[in-house]
Every structure is written in C-alpha cells, then in structure tokens.
Structure 1
Amino acid sequence: MEEARGPLGLTEKIMRTIAAICLAGMAVMTGTDVFLRGAFNTPIFGCEEIVSILGVIAVGFALPYTHYQKSHIGVEILIRRFSKKIRDRVKFITTLATLALVSIISWRMFMYAGTLAESGEVSMNLELPEYYVVYVLSFGFFIYALCLAADVLSFFKKSEG
C-alpha cells in the first residue's frame, strides 16, 4: 500500500520524524557518554535509561512507516509462486491476523501502563515514571493497527471496484 493520505498519513510522518530524532538522540547520548567516560572518567548519569527510552520511542513510532515501506519480514519465496488472486488472499489474511495481534498488544500495553501508573513504578536512576514510556509505545502500536485496518478496508474497496 502506498503512504496513507489525510490524518493517518500526517500522523505517520510526524511519528517517523520523532523516531528519527530519537535515533539521532541515542547516537549523540551514547557518543557523548563514551567520550566523557574515556576523556574525563565522568559518565552521563542516567544515560542508559535515556537511551533505552529513546529506543522504545523510536521502535514504536517507526512501526507505521515500516509498514508503508513494506520493510517487515515476509516469506516471499513461497508466496511468489502463487497466482495473484491467492497472493492477495494470503496478504489479506496475514494483514487481518496482524491487525488482531497488534490491536491486542496495544490494548494490553495501555492497560499495563495504567497498572504502572497506579503502582508508581519509576526508573532506577533518574526515577522517571515508566508508565509514560509504555503509553507512548501503546500509541505507536495503536497507529500501526490503524494502518493495518486501512489496508483491510482498501482490500474490500479493491474487490468491489
């Protein structure tokens, strides 16, 4: 599927940009920490936590972009040998199954974040509330689920037209 247009496409572009910024932030934080450790024997306090949080955001927010770029793993060797009609059906079934799985993951992560918020769970060094990170990751999976749902709808529109 090509990139989505409208609000979903705009959301995907914003998320992609945030993911790229997080990756750059991870590189800068890690490089700076290594330099300060080597040159001055002074690491950045909480660097591991910050890099981990940025990594979670980068992964969660890159999901919709990865979907539109078709950069996910697929078993193309076998599928390529089928007719177009069967390939389309297999794609529909796998998209539907992925939508179900990703929806459940997003929902359960959202519920887990609520549990973390109630318990007051914080990170070890910086004592940052961990539930924020889980909510952000849940949001990334939710937008990915919306992208998958858009694919399912486009399958039905194609078969009607």
Structure 2
Amino acid sequence: MEEAKRPLHITEKIMRVIAAACLVGMAAMTGADVFLRGAFNTPIFGCEEIVAILGVVAVGFALPYAHYQKSHIGVEILVRRLPKRVRDGVGLATNLATLALVSIITWRMFLYAGTLAESGEVSMNLELPEYYVVYVLSFGFFVYALCLLADVVKFFTKRGA
C-alpha cells in the first residue's frame, strides 16, 4: 500500500507547489495591473483572464493537499463527541460519498473539456483555448478522487490488520 501511496503523495506535493505558484502569480499580476493602471493609465491586457485561469488551477491543484491536511469544512463539534468507532464510520461514509461525487464531477468535466475542444471555444480577450483549463481542473479533481480512494482502501486494510 505504501508503494502505491508514494507516487500519489509526490503528485500531491507537486500540485501543492503549482497551486502556491499560481497564488503568487495571481497576486503579482493583480499588483502589477493596479500599479500600471494607477501610475501610467495602462492596464495589462488580459490580466483578468490570466488571474481567473491561475485561480482555477490553484483551487483544483490544492484539493488533494486540503484533503490530506483535513482543512475542509466538517461538523467537528458533533463528530468529536461520538465514540471512535462511530467517528470512523462517519469518516468512511463521508469519504465514500465525496469519492462518488468527485468521480462524477471529474468524468463530466473531462467530457465537457472535450466538447469545448471540439467547438473551439476560446477566452474573450486573449483567445486562449478554454478546454486546456478544464482539462487541468479535471486532473486536479482526479487526483483528489485518488486521494479519497486511498483513504477508503486504508480504512479497510487497517481494519483487517
């Protein structure tokens, strides 16, 4: 199990670094755009599109990290008071439900990216192909689904051991 989890962990780390770089890029682009608008009355052409794309990549690539850090929203006040066995069951049910939902989202997003590629949809100002962004986001959701699946497998292997 550890051999299978290692590539997933490395992928999550790389995605975390990319997400952080996207956040830095968003801040830098926005700051530069504001500065150029104020100082020289010259905005950066397409800045809003670039910042939006970086935001999508940051969110999609941060999902696996947020899952491993358990930094997603949960009803901790209620769950903490439950016995450990019940907490584990709630965690399993939550992971299974989230896995099902994220898997469907990944699948539909991947199909949607293909539809965008066929139609030739591009962004408004820079005319960047939008399907690339949707493929990248679907990859982020796919890795998140793999992380959830790894946790479900870990739950059952831990109980059997």
Please tell me the TM-score bracket, short chain as reference.
Answer: over 0.9
DSSP-derived class of the 2:107 partner? helix
Alignment of 1:83 onto 2:95 = no
Shift of 1:158: 1.0
- Alignment identity in percent? 80
Shift of 1:65: 0.4
Equivalences, count: 158
What TM-score, normalized by structure 2, do the two folds share? 0.97
Kept in 1, the 8 Å contact 2:5–2:150? The answer is: no
DSSP-derived class of the 1:6 partner? helix
Kept in 1, the 8 Å contact 2:23–2:54? The answer is: yes
Alignment of 1:98 onto 2:69 = no
Q: Could you tell me how far apart the structure 1 residues matched to 2:5 and 2:152 are?
A: 15
Gaps of 5+ in 2: none
Question: Letter of the aligned partner of 1:9 in structure 2?
Answer: H
Shift of 1:42: 0.1
Deviation string for 1:51-89 (max 9, x for gaps)?
Answer: 000000000000000000000000011111110000000
Gaps of 5+ in 1: none
Question: Letter of the aligned partner of 1:90 in structure 2?
Answer: V
DSSP-derived class of the 2:15 partner? helix
- For residue 74 of structure 1, what is the aligned residue in structure 2? 74
What pairs up with 1:29-68 in 2 under 5 angstroms? 29-68=29-68
Question: Letter of the aligned partner of 2:93 in structure 1?
Answer: I
What TM-score, normalized by structure 1, do the two folds share? 0.97
- For residue 115 of structure 2, what is the aligned residue in structure 1? 115
Shift of 1:5: 4.4
Shift of 1:6: 1.2
Question: Letter of the aligned partner of 1:37 in structure 2?
Answer: R
Deviation string for 1:84-103 (max 9, x for gaps)?
Answer: 00000010001000000000
RMSD after superposition = 0.8
